[in-house]
Amino acid sequence: MENAVEANWHGHDYQARFFWIYASALRDPDQTNVIEVSYETDGPKACDDIIVCYDPGRPSYGPHRVVVDYHQIKYHVALGGRFGYEDLINPAFIGAKSFSVLQRLKQQRKMLLPISHSHS
């Protein structure tokens, strides 16, 4: 049980550090387009750990600007010392029964794509 609690604690610590990296942009005069950073918020399922909002949107690889970044932060402890693609396609890896983390991300991407394009 101690190992499960320790992994959980490290996971939340990792998420918090990731949050503060983005939250520090709110005070950075060179990143005035960062207008909101949320931690463990009501966002899309499987993409709600850290949400960063931009106005104007940040540049992207395509013609559209990114107005929101959704981050799902995972900290996983595996006794084997590593994990790979097979874990990412296995629902049990994240304690789920039906959908793997990659399947959830694919579903959310389909839902979010129209939102990103409408704010360009």
Q: What's the alpha-carbon Rg for the chain, to the nearest Å?
A: 16
3-state DSSP: the chain helix, strand, coil percent, rounded to 5? 45, 20, 40
Q: Which of 62, 57, 73, 72 is nearest to 109 (CA)?
A: 72
User: How far is it, in rounded angstroms, from Cα 92 to Cα 8?
Assistant: 17
Burial pattern 98-119, b for ≥16 Cβ within 10 A else e, equals: eebbeebbeebeeeeeeebeee
Mind telling me the catalytic residues?
Answer: 49, 72, 74
